[in-house]
Structure 1
Amino acid sequence: MRSRAGLVAVCGAMLAAAVALPLGGTAYAADTAGATDAARTAAADTPSALVLTLSPGESAQTVGVERAVTLTCTPSPGGSHPAPQEACAELSAADGDLAALPAQPQSFCAMIYAPVVVTVQGAWQGERVDYARSFPNECVMRAQGGPLYAF
Protein backbone atom coordinates (compact mmCIF):
# COMPACT_ATOMS: atom_id res chain seq x y z
CA MET A 1 0.00 0.00 0.00
CA ARG A 2 2.90 2.29 0.75
CA SER A 3 4.27 2.14 -2.83
CA ARG A 4 0.82 3.02 -4.19
CA ALA A 5 0.77 6.18 -2.04
CA GLY A 6 4.21 7.15 -3.42
CA LEU A 7 2.98 6.62 -6.97
CA VAL A 8 -0.08 8.80 -6.34
CA ALA A 9 2.16 11.53 -4.90
CA VAL A 10 4.49 11.44 -7.93
CA CYS A 11 1.55 11.50 -10.37
CA GLY A 12 0.03 14.40 -8.45
CA ALA A 13 3.28 16.37 -8.64
CA MET A 14 3.54 15.71 -12.39
CA LEU A 15 -0.06 16.82 -12.90
CA ALA A 16 0.55 20.02 -10.91
CA ALA A 17 3.64 20.78 -12.98
CA ALA A 18 1.74 20.16 -16.23
CA VAL A 19 -1.04 22.52 -15.16
CA ALA A 20 1.36 25.22 -13.93
CA LEU A 21 3.64 25.06 -16.99
CA PRO A 22 1.33 26.99 -19.36
CA LEU A 23 0.92 29.71 -16.74
CA GLY A 24 4.64 30.39 -16.53
CA GLY A 25 5.47 29.64 -20.16
CA THR A 26 6.22 33.22 -21.23
CA ALA A 27 8.64 33.85 -18.39
CA TYR A 28 10.36 30.54 -19.07
CA ALA A 29 10.79 31.36 -22.77
CA ALA A 30 12.21 34.79 -21.91
CA ASP A 31 14.68 33.25 -19.44
CA THR A 32 15.90 30.58 -21.87
CA ALA A 33 16.23 32.87 -24.89
CA GLY A 34 19.38 34.43 -23.50
CA ALA A 35 20.67 31.03 -22.43
CA THR A 36 20.10 29.67 -25.95
CA ASP A 37 22.07 32.55 -27.51
CA ALA A 38 24.85 31.99 -25.00
CA ALA A 39 24.83 28.26 -25.76
CA ARG A 40 25.12 28.97 -29.50
CA THR A 41 28.04 31.31 -28.92
CA ALA A 42 29.73 28.74 -26.68
CA ALA A 43 29.11 25.99 -29.27
CA ALA A 44 30.68 28.14 -32.00
CA ASP A 45 33.79 28.47 -29.81
CA THR A 46 33.86 24.75 -28.97
CA PRO A 47 36.51 22.83 -30.91
CA SER A 48 35.15 21.05 -33.98
CA ALA A 49 37.31 18.16 -35.15
CA LEU A 50 36.32 15.33 -37.47
CA VAL A 51 37.89 12.23 -38.98
CA LEU A 52 36.64 11.39 -42.48
CA THR A 53 37.24 7.99 -44.06
CA LEU A 54 36.60 6.52 -47.48
CA SER A 55 36.08 2.78 -47.90
CA PRO A 56 35.28 0.79 -51.03
CA GLY A 57 32.06 -1.20 -50.92
CA GLU A 58 28.50 -0.71 -49.80
CA SER A 59 29.20 -0.80 -46.06
CA ALA A 60 32.02 0.57 -43.92
CA GLN A 61 32.30 -2.83 -42.24
CA THR A 62 32.87 -4.89 -45.41
CA VAL A 63 36.33 -3.65 -46.42
CA GLY A 64 39.06 -1.67 -44.71
CA VAL A 65 39.60 2.06 -44.97
CA GLU A 66 41.18 3.23 -48.22
CA ARG A 67 41.76 6.89 -47.21
CA ALA A 68 41.36 8.94 -44.05
CA VAL A 69 41.79 12.63 -43.26
CA THR A 70 41.33 14.87 -40.27
CA LEU A 71 39.44 18.14 -40.38
CA THR A 72 39.54 20.78 -37.65
CA CYS A 73 37.21 23.75 -38.07
CA THR A 74 37.37 25.48 -34.69
CA PRO A 75 39.36 27.35 -33.52
CA SER A 76 40.76 27.56 -37.08
CA PRO A 77 40.50 25.37 -40.21
CA GLY A 78 43.21 22.77 -40.48
CA GLY A 79 44.06 19.09 -40.38
CA SER A 80 45.18 16.74 -43.14
CA HIS A 81 42.11 17.52 -45.30
CA PRO A 82 43.32 19.04 -48.62
CA ALA A 83 40.86 21.99 -48.47
CA PRO A 84 40.02 22.66 -44.82
CA GLN A 85 38.74 26.24 -45.30
CA GLU A 86 36.27 25.21 -48.00
CA ALA A 87 35.17 22.06 -46.15
CA CYS A 88 34.58 23.98 -42.90
CA ALA A 89 32.68 26.72 -44.76
CA GLU A 90 30.45 24.07 -46.36
CA LEU A 91 29.79 22.42 -42.99
CA SER A 92 28.99 25.79 -41.42
CA ALA A 93 26.57 26.63 -44.24
CA ALA A 94 24.77 23.31 -43.61
CA ASP A 95 24.80 24.03 -39.84
CA GLY A 96 26.78 20.82 -39.36
CA ASP A 97 24.04 18.66 -40.89
CA LEU A 98 25.93 16.22 -43.12
CA ALA A 99 22.70 14.95 -44.68
CA ALA A 100 21.89 18.52 -45.83
CA LEU A 101 25.09 19.19 -47.77
CA PRO A 102 24.12 20.86 -51.04
CA ALA A 103 24.76 18.99 -54.30
CA GLN A 104 27.30 20.66 -56.51
CA PRO A 105 25.81 22.33 -59.61
CA GLN A 106 26.87 21.14 -63.04
CA SER A 107 28.15 17.78 -61.79
CA PHE A 108 28.14 15.01 -64.34
CA CYS A 109 29.16 11.51 -63.31
CA ALA A 110 29.49 8.30 -65.28
CA MET A 111 27.00 5.60 -64.37
CA ILE A 112 29.72 3.20 -63.21
CA TYR A 113 28.85 1.18 -60.13
CA ALA A 114 31.89 1.19 -57.84
CA PRO A 115 30.32 1.83 -54.41
CA VAL A 116 32.14 3.73 -51.67
CA VAL A 117 31.26 4.62 -48.10
CA VAL A 118 32.19 7.85 -46.36
CA THR A 119 32.24 7.98 -42.58
CA VAL A 120 32.52 11.13 -40.49
CA GLN A 121 33.23 10.86 -36.76
CA GLY A 122 34.20 13.37 -34.11
CA ALA A 123 32.61 16.52 -32.77
CA TRP A 124 30.94 19.49 -34.43
CA GLN A 125 30.40 22.52 -32.15
CA GLY A 126 30.25 20.34 -29.07
CA GLU A 127 27.89 17.73 -30.56
CA ARG A 128 29.00 14.15 -31.23
CA VAL A 129 29.10 13.19 -34.91
CA ASP A 130 28.86 9.59 -36.11
CA TYR A 131 27.77 9.55 -39.75
CA ALA A 132 28.10 7.11 -42.63
CA ARG A 133 26.77 7.30 -46.18
CA SER A 134 27.26 5.14 -49.23
CA PHE A 135 27.51 6.40 -52.80
CA PRO A 136 27.43 4.53 -56.13
CA ASN A 137 30.93 5.86 -56.98
CA GLU A 138 33.47 8.51 -55.96
CA CYS A 139 32.27 11.02 -58.56
CA VAL A 140 28.76 11.00 -57.09
CA MET A 141 30.28 11.24 -53.60
CA ARG A 142 32.17 14.42 -54.54
CA ALA A 143 29.13 15.85 -56.33
CA GLN A 144 26.98 15.30 -53.23
CA GLY A 145 29.55 16.35 -50.64
CA GLY A 146 31.49 19.06 -52.45
CA PRO A 147 34.70 20.22 -50.80
CA LEU A 148 34.04 18.20 -47.64
CA TYR A 149 34.28 14.87 -49.48
CA ALA A 150 37.08 15.95 -51.84
CA PHE A 151 39.88 14.05 -50.13
Structure 2
Amino acid sequence: MTASVSAAPLDTPPQEWIDLADAEYPNLQEGDFILFPDRGWKFTKLSCGQRPATSDYHVRPQVACDEIAAADGDFNKLPGSQEECEKFNSPLSEPFILETYGKWHARTVAWRKEFD
Protein backbone atom coordinates (compact mmCIF):
# COMPACT_ATOMS: atom_id res chain seq x y z
CA MET A 1 0.00 0.00 0.00
CA THR A 2 1.40 3.39 -0.97
CA ALA A 3 0.13 6.89 -0.50
CA SER A 4 -1.83 8.20 -3.43
CA VAL A 5 -1.27 11.61 -4.97
CA SER A 6 -4.39 13.03 -3.37
CA ALA A 7 -2.71 14.69 -0.40
CA ALA A 8 -3.32 18.36 0.04
CA PRO A 9 -3.49 21.13 2.54
CA LEU A 10 -6.98 22.52 2.87
CA ASP A 11 -7.67 26.25 2.83
CA THR A 12 -9.88 25.93 5.88
CA PRO A 13 -10.74 22.92 8.01
CA PRO A 14 -14.28 21.59 7.59
CA GLN A 15 -16.56 22.76 10.38
CA GLU A 16 -17.15 19.11 11.32
CA TRP A 17 -13.44 18.76 12.24
CA ILE A 18 -13.52 21.90 14.35
CA ASP A 19 -16.67 20.74 16.15
CA LEU A 20 -15.22 17.28 16.86
CA ALA A 21 -11.92 18.72 18.06
CA ASP A 22 -13.64 21.29 20.29
CA ALA A 23 -15.93 18.67 21.80
CA GLU A 24 -13.17 16.19 22.63
CA TYR A 25 -10.20 18.52 23.02
CA PRO A 26 -11.28 22.08 23.83
CA ASN A 27 -8.73 24.89 23.63
CA LEU A 28 -6.19 23.52 21.16
CA GLN A 29 -2.80 25.04 21.86
CA GLU A 30 0.09 25.92 19.57
CA GLY A 31 1.58 22.66 18.29
CA ASP A 32 -1.56 20.58 18.91
CA PHE A 33 -2.97 18.44 16.12
CA ILE A 34 -6.05 16.27 15.95
CA LEU A 35 -5.69 13.24 13.67
CA PHE A 36 -8.93 11.96 12.15
CA PRO A 37 -8.50 8.48 10.66
CA ASP A 38 -11.49 7.06 8.84
CA ARG A 39 -13.16 3.65 9.21
CA GLY A 40 -14.51 4.52 12.62
CA TRP A 41 -11.15 4.64 14.38
CA LYS A 42 -10.79 6.95 17.37
CA PHE A 43 -9.33 10.31 16.54
CA THR A 44 -6.31 11.32 18.56
CA LYS A 45 -4.57 14.42 19.82
CA LEU A 46 -0.87 14.91 19.16
CA SER A 47 0.73 17.66 21.27
CA CYS A 48 3.98 18.95 19.82
CA GLY A 49 4.16 22.17 21.83
CA GLN A 50 6.21 20.70 24.65
CA ARG A 51 8.97 18.16 25.14
CA PRO A 52 8.46 15.35 25.35
CA ALA A 53 5.60 15.35 22.90
CA THR A 54 2.45 13.64 24.10
CA SER A 55 -0.55 11.90 22.61
CA ASP A 56 -3.50 9.93 23.86
CA TYR A 57 -3.25 7.23 21.14
CA HIS A 58 -0.37 7.95 18.74
CA VAL A 59 2.31 5.32 19.34
CA ARG A 60 5.35 7.52 18.57
CA PRO A 61 4.43 11.11 19.43
CA GLN A 62 7.97 12.50 19.74
CA VAL A 63 9.04 11.04 16.39
CA ALA A 64 5.89 12.41 14.75
CA CYS A 65 6.37 15.86 16.29
CA ASP A 66 10.04 15.97 15.30
CA GLU A 67 9.03 15.18 11.71
CA ILE A 68 6.30 17.85 11.79
CA ALA A 69 8.85 20.37 13.07
CA ALA A 70 11.35 19.41 10.35
CA ALA A 71 8.58 19.91 7.76
CA ASP A 72 7.58 23.24 9.37
CA GLY A 73 4.03 21.98 9.82
CA ASP A 74 3.61 21.00 6.15
CA PHE A 75 2.17 17.49 6.30
CA ASN A 76 2.90 16.95 2.59
CA LYS A 77 6.59 17.07 3.44
CA LEU A 78 6.43 14.38 6.12
CA PRO A 79 8.59 11.32 5.45
CA GLY A 80 5.90 8.93 6.76
CA SER A 81 5.34 5.53 5.27
CA GLN A 82 2.70 2.85 5.20
CA GLU A 83 4.55 1.06 7.99
CA GLU A 84 4.17 4.08 10.26
CA CYS A 85 0.47 4.30 9.44
CA GLU A 86 0.02 0.63 10.28
CA LYS A 87 1.45 1.32 13.73
CA PHE A 88 -1.10 4.10 14.21
CA ASN A 89 -3.99 1.70 14.74
CA SER A 90 -3.92 -1.59 12.92
CA PRO A 91 -2.64 -3.13 9.69
CA LEU A 92 -4.03 -1.46 6.61
CA SER A 93 -5.47 -3.83 4.08
CA GLU A 94 -7.70 -1.41 2.22
CA PRO A 95 -7.66 2.29 1.30
CA PHE A 96 -8.18 4.76 4.08
CA ILE A 97 -8.12 8.51 4.68
CA LEU A 98 -6.25 10.47 7.33
CA GLU A 99 -7.27 14.05 8.06
CA THR A 100 -5.48 16.47 10.35
CA TYR A 101 -6.46 19.74 11.98
CA GLY A 102 -4.23 21.79 14.26
CA LYS A 103 -2.12 24.84 14.97
CA TRP A 104 1.47 25.42 13.93
CA HIS A 105 3.38 28.69 14.32
CA ALA A 106 0.22 30.78 14.67
CA ARG A 107 -1.43 29.29 11.59
CA THR A 108 -4.19 26.74 11.23
CA VAL A 109 -3.20 23.48 9.58
CA ALA A 110 -5.84 21.38 7.82
CA TRP A 111 -4.72 18.46 5.68
CA ARG A 112 -6.16 15.30 4.12
CA LYS A 113 -4.47 12.29 2.57
CA GLU A 114 -5.84 9.15 0.94
CA PHE A 115 -3.77 5.98 1.23
CA ASP A 116 -4.49 3.23 -1.25
Specify the TM-score bucket, using the shorter chain as the normaliser.
0.5 to 0.7
- Aligned positions of 1:1-151 closer than 5 A: 47-56=30-39, 65-76=40-51, 77-80=53-56, 81-104=58-81, 114-136=94-116
Larger Rg: 1
Q: Secondary structure at the match of 1:67?
A: coil
Considering fraction of residues, name the structure with more helix.
1
Amino acid at match of 1:78: T
- The one-letter code matched in structure 2 to 1:54 is P
Partner residue in 2 for 1:4: none
- 3-state secondary structure, aligned to 2:54: coil
Unaligned runs of 5+ in 2: 1-28, 85-91
Q: TM-score, normalised by structure 1?
A: 0.45
**% same residue:** 27
Cα pair distance change 1:66/1:95, threshold 3 Å: same
Distance 1:113 1:89 in 2: 28
TM-score, normalised with respect to structure 2: 0.58
Larger fraction in strand: 2
Return structure 1 stretches of 4+ with deviation > 6 angstroms: none
Deviation at 1:92, TM superposition (A): 0.9
Give 5+ residue unaligned stretches, structure 1: 1-45, 57-64, 137-151
- The Cα RMSD (Å) is 2.5
Q: Distance in 2 between matches of 1:68 and 1:113?
A: 19
